[in-house]
Structure 1
Amino acid sequence: MKECIKYLEKIGTKRLYEKGSIIFFEGENAQKFFLLLKGVVRVYKSISINKELNLHYFKAFDFIAEMPAFKKASYPANAVCEQDCELLELDFDTFEQSCLKDGKIALMMINSLFAKIMILEKELLRGSMELRKRFIFFILENESNLDQLSQRQIAIFLNARAESLSRIIKEFKVKQLISTQKGKIKLENKQALQNELW
């Protein structure tokens, strides 16, 4: 992986983005795609003036927007930096030539596309769940990052109203399933949370 990234750095352009910077907007022509080197990027769709539908959070060494670049289509969503980020901007035509020369680069892309399919499957499953279960899955899957996520950020990720999530958090605190400290959630009884799913 490291040697592939070093190679990609030779054919791409490193760009620094501050927190809150937009990387691309939905509908723009996808001539470039990105490899996230540092930070967190949120991809979302605007569904009304004040409402966003979060699709995914990308972390270091994830490809972003490779599918629309491959298809020479438009970006299907918006991308914003949730932290200061370092991205490697890649031209797809140059990347395609690299894939033809080096099978490791092609395998890296295939792996990324499989990961996107898994994300889609997970989101389809979550979309059919009530908020309570989506919240439990989220905190169990992201236990190691909970100390970095505010309750508002979790609500945004779950596409939920903060008030609705707050009621669930209050209930779980009363049941001693979770605790909160300075607005951050900590798991107190993982087994009981898992039992709440079934």
Structure 2
Amino acid sequence: MNPLRALPLFEDLNEETFSKLTEIARQRRFQKGEILFFEGDAPNDLVVLTKGVLKLFKTSSSDKEVILHHFTPVSLVAEVAVLHRIPYPATAVFEADSEVLLINYDAFESMFLSNPELARILLLSLSKKIRMLESVIERGLVMDASERVINFIRKSPELLKTMRHYEIANILNLTPETFSRTLKKLQHEGKVINSEAGWEALP
């Protein structure tokens, strides 16, 4: 499935319109450590993370890194800055080899936002996304360590091969010790397995 269909913003578009959307999207690959954008850069594209991990952070006056968010697939990245035509409020760096889809915003605005019917569909989709984010926030507040690890394995199993445990623990807001202990516990309970094909969360 085209990863754009995984986004609530685009899931209700008909095939003809969705096809037009894919025509203005281009794929780019990035290596771990590469910068997607710096704080203060002017945005030109809607960014969709389809593979990997992207860290959003700011640097304090004392040069301390303040992590704002980790994006995992499939996610729209900093779309508010693009939609409002304001500079990016933070810097984004890839924490794993990653892939993104870049949607030219000028073409997107001309093609979609000038059409009242499409604008209505997108507005409904944005409302749906807000409700989804509220649900995600609620789950994040009540999820225990085991639930967070299982959810991560289901969403991004390949990252357990490429990222260090302390990096994944940081994404999950766990200590490295808690992450390792939880992973071993889930394996012992038969809730996750690590086979030749990689990590898998069992039903």
TM-score bucket (shorter structure): 0.5 to 0.7
Gaps of 5+ in 2: 1-12
AA partner of residue 72 (structure 1): R
Find the aligned partners of 1:169 and 1:63 in 2 and give their Cα distance.
Answer: 29
Find the aligned partners of 1:14 and 1:117 in 2 and give their Cα distance.
Answer: 28
Q: CA deviation at 1:130?
A: 3.8
Deviations 1:89-142 (A, max 9, x none): 4235x5333311363366246525632552354134313544334224444xx2
Q: Secondary structure at the match of 2:72?
A: strand
Q: CA deviation at 1:158?
A: 1.0
Contact 2:27/2:100 (<8 A) preserved? yes
**Could you tell me the percent identity over the aligned residues?**
20
- Equivalent residue runs for 1:35-50 within 5 Å: 35-36=47-48, 39-40=51-52, 42-46=54-58, 49=64
Contact 2:51/2:72 (<8 A) preserved? no
Structure 1 residues 9, 186: closer, same or farther in 2, change over 3 A? closer
- Equivalent residue runs for 1:156-171 within 5 Å: 156-171=170-185
Alignment match, 1:96:
109
Structure 1 residues 183, 44: closer, same or farther in 2, change over 3 A? farther
- Equivalent residue runs for 1:141-180 within 5 Å: 142=154, 145-146=156-157, 148-150=158-160, 152=165, 154-180=168-194
AA partner of residue 176 (structure 1): G
Alignment match, 2:46:
34
* Residues 1:56 and 2:71 are matched in the alignment: yes
Q: CA RMSD in A?
A: 3.8
Contact 2:49/2:77 (<8 A) preserved? no
Find the aligned partners of 2:130 and 2:90 in 1 and give their Cα distance.
Answer: 14
- Equivalent residue runs for 1:113-132 within 5 Å: 114-115=128-129, 117-132=131-146
Structure 1 residues 183, 54: closer, same or farther in 2, change over 3 A? farther
Structure holding more helix per residue: 1
Structure 1 residues 18, 55: closer, same or farther in 2, change over 3 A? closer
4+ aligned runs moved over 4 Å, structure 1:
46-51
Gaps of 5+ in 1: 191-198
Q: CA deviation at 1:84?
A: 4.7
